[in-house]
Structure 1
Amino acid sequence: MEKPDITMEPLKSKSVVTNISYAVLEKTLYSVSTLILVPIAVKQLGMDVYGIWVLYCSLAAFFLLAQFGLSTSFERFIAAYRASNDHEKLMRVVATSFYSLCVIAIVIFAVSALCAEHVISWFAGTQVSRYQELLFIWFMGINAVMLVNQIFMAVPRGYLRYDISSFIGIAARLVETGLSIAFLLTGSGLAAFIWGLGASCVISTCAGFWVTSRTLGKWPIAPRMFSGSMLLELYRFGIYTQASFFAMWASANMDKLIISRLFGSYYVGLYDIGTRIPLLVRNTFSLIFAVLVPRASELFATGARNTLQRIYRHGSRYLAILSSAAAALLIPTAGSILELWLRKPADRLEIFVFQAIMVGVAVQLTAGIGSSVIRGVNKPYFETIANTGMALVNVVFSLSLCLLYGMNGVAWGTVLSLVAGTIFFEVLVNRELQVDQSSFFLTDIAVPFLWSLACTVAGVFVFPLLCSRFFMDVSPVMALAASVCVYGAALCGLTAVFYRVIGYVSLGEIIGVFRKKIL
């Protein structure tokens, strides 16, 4: 029987720029909702209880590592089989992944439920109540269902239709945020987060399954489509990213677990507040290069190596410009931004963590394009090697520096691991893509960061003067907001002029991207 033409299915591919736009829109909404939710949670719960919730999230992320990188292979294989018009293998990918994730989710939920009391009590440094233990078990149950939903959400992304997955994500996030705030204000405590996340899980899972059914057939998870050989193929790709998963978890959560054990949940809350905005910046920027994985896979399949090199070099350059500029904007204004966000003077620890993590995030983001390209060309073990080293360095440095310098040392341990892991990974990618090492680091990376370093040093002296000398006739909140905006506008203007004068960026190339002529 003739195979159906996948290009005639309801999901027709969108351009990379369109996918980036929708993905950034989703992440922007997520960032804004988080900025709204966190101060309300801290006010209603107190920093100690909020720190317990942060501990829940860190432990849940650890238990979810048991999928061993399976979910990272979905988009890549769906995009490849769609490009080759192989409908049967598409069905096998979805069915095999679904049943495999169901088994993994059940195991994760069972183990986390059995270990909940002992694990939470050990990291919290005190005995937790039965109520808090039950909340964690419910939380893990919701996360298990969301793990299974990853295969459904991967279908539109594999078809290069991030607009659909973004719309679902936006709807789910709005419901989650609205319900969480409502229950927080009515005094539900930590259960407010559970109700909001549960509703979000139901919406995204039902919508994801509906989209998958419309695309691949009425019942895309038929048991007869399960394939052991397909599962091995998926794991053969995904297992290499397990170290990346662990490294991401370690860089985002190891600090909090160390602080929770040594200093208590109150300081976990403070530390989390300091990392929130830098990590939101990283997550938002990551969408710019995450959508390149299917495109890189297509280019690799067609042998367009020169195009891959151009995307890698030019994309890394522009990403370095954006990430370093973000650091130059946020580091001098960290205290003011936290005060505007929390509506109270920021703690010195929060400010220090904010500034330190922002340095590491800015450097780490420069490897984003290389990460997507390497995944697209089926070489995920490059990330495995680099991220394994980064995770080990993070654990060793964070623990060692914590003993020497307290919580400030924990932050510096994370920063050093991010910088070391990023540089090592970029060296590996350059060798694979046959890119000149010195040209890449000196031209594409060093120039933006040296300029942003100069801007940051100037900003440390200029921004306080801007706050104290201008906007004296308005309220303190408006004065801080106006100062940040003026400083940001001046920084952006000077940066644009600088790069234009030295001929570092091509306006025609940027226009070509948005006119869909390059990507």
Structure 2
Amino acid sequence: MISLRRFTGGVVIGWVSTFLSIAIGLFMSPFLIHHLGEAGYGVWVLVQSTVSYMYFMDLGLRTTVVRFTAKAQARGDHQEVSQVVSAALWLRLWTAAGVMAIALCLSALLPHIFHIPTQYETTARVALVLAATTLSSTLVFSVFTAVLSGIGYFDLLGLLEMVQVTLTSLGLIPILKSGHSIMAMAGWQLCIVLTINIVAAVACFRVCPELRIHLHRPPPELMRSLWSLGLWVLIGNGAGQLILYTDNVVVGIFVTASAVSYYAISAKMVEYVRQIAFSVLKFFMPLASSFRALDQFDRLRQLHVRGTQLVLLVTYPIVITLVIRGDTLLCLWIGDRFSVEATRVLQILAIAAALMLANASVNGIALALDRQKTLAIVTLAEGLANLLLSLILVKHIGVLGVAFGTMIPTIATSLFFWPRYLCKLVHMPTFVYVRDGWLRPVLAMLPFLFVSHWAEMHWQPAKLMGFVLQTMALLPLAVMGAFVVFHREIPKIRIIIAKRRGQAAVN
């Protein structure tokens, strides 16, 4: 049974972990670039991106274990939990061996695939093997974190994630200052991740003392059950990896390692915005599932609209800042030369993110309505289109072509497919959703947009901290715009909260 305390703790710790990760990333990116150089940082990004592709070998098992564990634990069927975990662990051991075999092959071919400077060839090969070992350990031990998630230990998982993010990132500072290379960075991350994974496994056996592991080939019927649930999750995850990590690899193959640095920094800024959106939406899928189970489509429609509004109101001030003031930010954060190369890439990717965020609730609602097949197929089509367009355009306009290759498929799915498809699923007119879910948040952001443009023209800061303080000083305009547009909803929200408190008091 999932307790309210652990659920609430997971939400709070999740928010803290997200913003801590972003803060550390904002600090570490210029630090890594200045200590590794543009080429060295590009090699580091290529190694990480190449290994991240292998995460598709998750095979959708983590989601499957979470679902099986939650259902079996609710029934008190500890034997089924042990069977599922044993089967998943058996599969993951073979998967980890496959990852290492692929990594060894890629390490031999790495300098022939990417434009890596000669002095980095050996370093990149060793770092790739170490990073693949890190991924392999994560794949194996994620079986235990899935069990913890299935039984509701969100607070513990959040704490472990926060510790891992902090140590793996900040631990690189003394490593680089002492003159060590990318190999030492990869080795440090392996040690921290492996330690956190072992702690999670020990915690899993402590909170589930009935858990028994048997490492033998699972029965065919259990394998079929795991595969039937995990297949479309696997395809969706693989497509997501294709979208997230294709660009850096394409730039590394067709341009230079230094160009990867420019693209990776811009992509990372946009990825932070996605992380914030995910922290808002990650608990929407259970709500949508409960509404669907009770055939409460009115609440499902409300969740769809309110979820979109919330994500846009939280993230669009950041997107507007990146598009309008991205050049100033990069100049103060990394340097003048870097801003010249990366600003236009940042603006293109930020616009693509703005379109994607307008349909940010698609994952939760589609999964809740058992439309994971459609979700996986459309995401895969978008990923393949991203790859194809990037390969075509990079030959003509370089790094910008890769950015446009990302934006064009996003426009196609975000504007012309997902709004109509989701509105059809929840029995809602598309126009109503676009008006309430999209246009009203955009209207609320207009004051912030105009004042940000004015600041970029007439209020140039001298240092990065000045830029941060300026942005914080302008944010009340976004809050004011949201209040003006949504002030009528505030009394309704108060009434709903009051009713829920009254029901809780009665119970």
TM over 0.5: yes
Shift of 1:485: 2.3
AA at the equivalent of 1:356: I
Matches within 5 A, 1:106-117: 106-117=97-108
Q: Deviations over 1:420-460 (max 9, x none)?
A: 23342343333223233222122212332354367435532
Matches within 5 A, 1:90-489: 90-124=81-115, 129-217=121-209, 219-223=211-215, 226-298=218-290, 300-301=292-293, 305-342=297-334, 346-423=338-415, 424-452=417-445, 455-456=448-449, 459-467=452-460, 476-489=463-476
AA at the equivalent of 1:253: Y
AA at the equivalent of 2:459: L
Bigger Cα displacement from structure 2, 224-233 vs 403-412: 224-233
Q: Deviations over 1:376-400 (max 9, x none)?
A: 3443112112202211221233233
The aligned counterpart of 1:51 is: 42
TM-score, normalised on structure 2? Answer: 0.89
* CA gap 1:481/1:62 in 2 versus in 1, 3 angstroms: closer
Bigger Cα displacement from structure 2, 159-168 vs 87-96: 87-96
**Structure 2 Cα separation of the partners of residues 440 and 82 of structure 1:** 38
Cα pair 2:323 2:350 within 8 Å, conserved? yes
AA at the equivalent of 1:232: R
Aligned pair 1:61/2:52, yes or no? yes
Bigger Cα displacement from structure 2, 212-221 vs 496-505: 496-505
Shift of 1:162: 1.9
CA RMSD after TM alignment: 3.0
The aligned counterpart of 1:29 is: 20
Q: Deviations over 1:321-360 (max 9, x none)?
A: 3233332233222223323433666422322222221222
**Structure 2 Cα separation of the partners of residues 181 and 370 of structure 1:** 39
AA at the equivalent of 1:214: R
Aligned pair 1:500/2:489, yes or no? no
* CA gap 1:45/1:462 in 2 versus in 1, 3 angstroms: closer
AA at the equivalent of 2:144: F
Cα pair 1:17 1:514 within 8 Å, conserved? no
AA at the equivalent of 1:285: A
Shift of 1:120: 4.5
Q: Deviations over 1:230-273 (max 9, x none)?
A: 33223222221333223322322222122112211001011111
**Structure 1 Cα separation of the partners of residues 216 and 499 of structure 2:** 43
Aligned pair 1:76/2:67, yes or no? yes
Cα pair 2:123 2:182 within 8 Å, conserved? no
The aligned counterpart of 1:4 is: none
Q: Deviations over 1:194-219 (max 9, x none)?
A: 13311221222112112211232264
Shift of 1:18: 4.4
Shift of 1:17: 5.2
Q: Deviations over 1:90-122 (max 9, x none)?
A: 333322212211111111111221232214431
Give 3-state SS (helix, strand or coil) of 1:129's partner.
helix
**Structure 1 Cα separation of the partners of residues 213 and 128 of structure 2:** 30
Aligned pair 1:40/2:31, yes or no? yes
AA at the equivalent of 1:106: A
AA at the equivalent of 2:134: I
Cα pair 2:277 2:357 within 8 Å, conserved? yes
Cα pair 1:383 1:425 within 8 Å, conserved? no
**Structure 1 Cα separation of the partners of residues 77 and 357 of structure 2:** 35
TM-score, normalised on structure 1? Answer: 0.87
Cα pair 1:327 1:362 within 8 Å, conserved? yes
Give 3-state SS (helix, strand or coil) of 2:171's partner.
helix
**Structure 2 Cα separation of the partners of residues 124 and 449 of structure 1:** 42
**Structure 2 Cα separation of the partners of residues 516 and 125 of structure 1:** 64
**Structure 2 Cα separation of the partners of residues 67 and 362 of structure 1:** 29
Cα pair 2:96 2:140 within 8 Å, conserved? yes
Cα pair 1:91 1:225 within 8 Å, conserved? no
Give unpaired runs (5+ residues) of structure 1: 1-6, 469-474
* CA gap 1:451/1:513 in 2 versus in 1, 3 angstroms: farther
AA at the equivalent of 2:284: L
Give unpaired runs (5+ residues) of structure 2: none
Give 3-state SS (helix, strand or coil) of 1:29's partner.
helix
**Structure 2 Cα separation of the partners of residues 510 and 35 of structure 1:** 38
Give 3-state SS (helix, strand or coil) of 1:223's partner.
coil
Bigger Cα displacement from structure 2, 303-312 vs 429-438: 303-312
Give 3-state SS (helix, strand or coil) of 1:347's partner.
helix
Cα pair 1:175 1:199 within 8 Å, conserved? no
* CA gap 1:90/1:24 in 2 versus in 1, 3 angstroms: same
AA at the equivalent of 2:57: A
Percent identical pairs in the alignment equals: 17
Cα pair 1:382 1:428 within 8 Å, conserved? no
